[in-house]
């Protein structure tokens, strides 16, 4: 079972992004994006490893363009770390799992 949340509505996406007390890793992606597809297994594996400590959500920029616009997404994939509804870190591009862990851990240490 995948621990990557794929929102079913704008309200669902906003509810996950607004989670309090648990960090949220957001993968802004698109179905037509090759690098996004290549990154998907890394994200799934990472989400499975961090289940219970972290929420991981995949936000399709075409389906949820309102959210993508609100946070200024200009390229996909873009990764963001959200804590208590606030963006604490962001970076464009995908990462290998070890670098993804470092990005998240550094963001949460701030």
Catalytic site includes residue 45: no
Angle between helices 97-109 and 34-49 (to 10 degrees): 70
Nearest to 68 by CA among 56, 59, 57: 59
Q: Are 73 and 28 in contact (CB under 8 A)?
A: yes
Identify the H or E element spanning 104. Answer: helix 97-109
Catalytic site includes residue 86: no
99 three-state secondary structure: helix
Q: Given the residues 33, 61, 67, 81, select the one marked as catalytic.
A: 33
Q: Given the residues 5, 26, 30, 36, select the one marked as catalytic.
A: 36
Residues labelled as active-site residues = 33, 36
């Amino acid at each position: 079972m995948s621990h990557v949340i794929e929102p079913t509505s704008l309200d669902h996406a906003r509810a996950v992004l607004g989670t309090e007390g648990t960090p949220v890793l957001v993968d802004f992606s698109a179905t037509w994006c090759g690098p996004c597809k290549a990154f998907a297994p890394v994200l799934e594996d990472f989400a499975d490893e961090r289940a219970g400590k972290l929420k991981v959500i995949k936000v399709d920029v075409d389906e949820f363009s309102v959210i993508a616009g609100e946070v200024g997404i200009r390229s996909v994939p873009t990764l963001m770390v959200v804590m208590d509804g606030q963006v604490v870190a962001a970076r464009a591009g995908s990462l290998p799992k070890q670098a993804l862990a470092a990005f998240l851990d550094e963001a949460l240490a701030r």
